[in-house]
Copies of this chain bind each other. A is one copy, B any other.
Amino acid sequence: MPNRSSAARDHAALVNLLRSRAAVATDPRERAERRFEAGRLTGSAKNLQPWHFVVVEDRVTLQKLGALARTGAHVAQAAAAVVVAVDKTPFAVSDASRAIQSMLLAAWADGVGSNWVGFGGLEEVKTLLGIPAKLDLLAILPLGYPARAVGRGKKDRKPIGAVAHRERYGQPFE
């Protein structure tokens, strides 16, 4: 656990970062530093910060990533991608997943679309990018303009009553 006051400052800074949007990004590759800041500020168990980010903008490499990622052919067309690797330590997946969520939200706050591409075909990505065997590959985050206007369509989500409980598991929330 990070100490509480540091975690509090980090979250407050992250919320401010998400709020401080200036219009829509002019280029999906810009503001990479904002996204890393969002990842870097994310809380981390014992403050180990077990994450590693590789920014890819080279078109040939992006095409290779798109070919390797079983659920992410669209990476080939992205303006850029952030590849996320983690230490092989007990809390690395949970910490890095939080950092990824922070980065995705920071991207969307800038008008840049992104999503989590995993978990198939990622071992070969390590070889492609020279990522050491001591790390696990967790995700590819393509960055680009959303291909369609983002609307308010139906979300295929469980109802709140199916996932939330009051005081004890099984007692209805609503």
Contacts and interface: CB of A to CB of B under 8 A. Distances in A.
A11 B105 contact: yes
The secondary-structure label for the interface of chain A is mixed
Given A5-B153, A115-B8, A156-B6, A169 B54 contact: yes
Nearest to A43: B116
A49 B167 CA distance: 21
Interface string A81-109: 00001000011011101101110110011
Interface string A1-39: 110111111111111001101000000000001001101
A135 to B, nearest CB: 8
B119 A91 contact: yes
Interface residues of A, number: 86
A8 to B, nearest CB: 5
Interface of A: 1-2, 4-15, 18-19, 21, 33, 36-37, 39-43, 45, 47, 49, 51-58, 61, 71, 74, 85, 90-91, 93-95, 97-98, 100-102, 104-105, 108-109, 113-119, 129-132, 138, 146, 148, 150-153, 155-158, 160, 163-170, 173
Contact of A58 (B8, B114, B167): B167
A61 B164 CA distance: 17
Contact of A165 (B8, B19, B53, B98): B53
A98 B42 CA distance: 11
B157 A40 contact: yes
A105 B15 contact: yes
B164 A53 contact: yes
A150 B9 contact: yes
Contacts of A156: 2, 6, 47
